[in-house]
Structure 1
Amino acid sequence: MRSTRRLAVGLLLALLLSFGLSVANASRAGQGASGQSWMTAPRHSAGVAPDPVQLADTAIIQVYMAPTFGWRGLFAVHPWLIFKRSGEHSYTRYEVVGWAGSDVVQRDYALPDGLWYGAQPQLLLDRRGEGVDALIARIEAAIGSYPYPHEYRAYPGPNSNTFLAHIGREVPALGLDLPANAIGKDYRPLTRPLGLSPSGRGLQFSLFGLLGLNLGLEEGIELNLLGLNAGVDLNRPGLRLPFVGRLGMDDTTRVGVD
């Protein structure tokens, strides 16, 4: 009994610490309870994406994430993907947006690296150059095969993180590693509780994204309880934590970037 209580207290303290870090990060970024309307929240370019005209001959894939709007940003993130083939002078952006109508998969809903309703985007993945055109073709095929194009639930999914996790599974060569606070990345129907982890480079057991386990090269060891994920990343050492996502070494994947 005493050891069980200590474990429970330790888990509670870890959750409180992770939530506190999330609140502190949101305060530094000017997010959270700002009283700002979603209609007036800034969505201008963050200046992160490379100039597609200057790099016209270079194929590029990037994945971004940003805290969701309002108080939900303390718990979860919204991800999206942009790409351009070699020879193209502009990016194409894809994501899932729950309020976009019956077709939740949106193309060019916003600027490639635009603020997500006031929240600064963070780069998760940057791949350029050789072999990227072929990856883009596979990404487009994965977008076309997304199993929930007309369905959206913020919790536990399917949502925007479910969409990026589907692409990661279908295109494991991307090496996409969605953070622990990407709620919805682990969503799976009851008929398919076992399969590839969201990176496509590991194994996953998950019941509706509410109870599960990820084991993989990118995810490391990650437990999921009620959508709150915690674990250890062994690839780039760090802690995978709910609310805050990650604590440790930079986990941004960069391939072909000078």
Structure 2
Amino acid sequence: MNLSATLPLAMRGLATLLLLSVGLSLANDPRPSSVAEQGSWRTAARHSAGIAPDPVRFVDAAIVQVYAAATYGWRGYFAVHPWLIFKRAGETAYTRYDVIGWGRGSVVRRNYALPDGLWFGATPQVLVDHRGEGVDAMIDAIEAAIASYPHADEYRSYPGPNSNTFLAHIGREVPALHLDLPANAIGKDYRPVTRPLGVSPSGSGLQLSLLGLLGVSIGVQEGIELNLLGLNFGVDLNSPGLRLPAIGRIGLDDAAVSDRSAPLPR
């Protein structure tokens, strides 16, 4: 088969995957079923999802978790907002960090909302759950990564830098997290035009990306992922699955988990 015949076939395949992904995202909408229930962004639910371990009950455990939830409004069908929480052994409260695109000053916010709160009505999903030995040292590395984030004074929802760019930076700087941001974490692939080549967002591979609009990532956590205008398509080999835009992922659970001696509450 020659190149002129292969390219149209590949584009049709990607278009089919995109339509499938959007359809699944619409079908799996995690938000309230009606506009009246969801309300405006001012009144949307922000209460605890009940998925973070009780920090008082597990006072002796160091804990790091990363969450992602559908963004507010129609964008939630295509993208997620991630954040990170942690506590050291002996602490009885979590510290939360995420990037927020509104307000004044640095876009990196500390304790902007509840550690495991709904994101404007959307229930978060656990991407990373590390506890126990070695996690205090991991937290030190995370705090250093937060301090070194190069885009603390700029924000663009598309193609970045945004909240996903922030978590991708932490993943690169702290590979022990084993952070695998989903394919619909738009902005995770953002790289300045002066540095198109570098470590992949999980810290486990390589990435070539032009402003997060065109590129490819290959890594232990990501598998193989192609980025076209912020729409990501790929195959995850670590935990077998398809990486798709809008829906994010289809396949086995890919959460990075270590030391579950402090189980999630039921």
TM-score (norm 1): 0.97
Q: Distance in 1 between matches of 2:159 and 2:51?
A: 30
Q: Distance in 1 between matches of 2:62 and 2:51?
A: 16
**Residue of structure 1 aligned with 2:74, choices 57, 65, 71:** 71
Aligned-residue offset at 1:30? 2.5
Q: Decide whether aligned partners of structure 1 residues 81 and 240 sit closer, same or farther in structure 2, where only a CA change above 3 A counts.
A: same
Q: Decide whether aligned partners of structure 1 residues 4 and 188 sit closer, same or farther in structure 2, where only a CA change above 3 A counts.
A: closer
Q: Decide whether aligned partners of structure 1 residues 60 and 197 sit closer, same or farther in structure 2, where only a CA change above 3 A counts.
A: same
Q: Which residue of 2 aligns with 1:13?
A: 16
Q: Distance in 1 between matches of 2:212 and 2:11?
A: 22
Q: Which residue of 1 aligns with 2:257?
A: 254
SS for the counterpart of 1:13 is helix
**Residue of structure 2 aligned with 1:96, choices 99, 102, 111:** 99
Aligned-residue offset at 1:32? 8.2
Identity of aligned residues (%): 67
2:210 paired with 1:231: no
Ranges in structure 2 where 5+ consecutive residues have no aligned partner: 262-266
1:239–1:248 CA contact under 8 A, matched in 2: yes
Within a 5 Å distance, the mapping from 1:1-258 to structure 2 comes to: 1-26=4-29, 29-30=31-32, 36-258=39-261
The code of the aligned residue for 1:170 comes to: E
SS for the counterpart of 2:28 is helix
Aligned-residue offset at 1:36? 2.0
Aligned-residue offset at 1:223? 0.3
SS for the counterpart of 1:71 is helix
The code of the aligned residue for 2:32 comes to: G
1:77–1:181 CA contact under 8 A, matched in 2: yes
Q: Decide whether aligned partners of structure 1 residues 32 and 24 sit closer, same or farther in structure 2, where only a CA change above 3 A counts.
A: farther
Q: Deviations over 1:186-229 (max 9, x none)?
A: 00001100000000110000000000000000000000000000
Ranges in structure 1 where 5+ consecutive residues have no aligned partner: none
1:193–1:205 CA contact under 8 A, matched in 2: yes
TM-score (norm 2): 0.94
Moved over 6 A (4+): none
The code of the aligned residue for 1:163 comes to: F
The code of the aligned residue for 1:88 comes to: E
Q: How many residues align?
A: 257
Q: Distance in 1 between matches of 2:75 and 2:33?
A: 11
Aligned-residue offset at 1:253? 1.0
Q: Which residue of 1 aligns with 2:264?
A: none
Q: Decide whether aligned partners of structure 1 residues 33 and 213 sit closer, same or farther in structure 2, where only a CA change above 3 A counts.
A: farther
Aligned-residue offset at 1:68? 0.3
Q: Distance in 1 between matches of 2:47 and 2:248?
A: 25
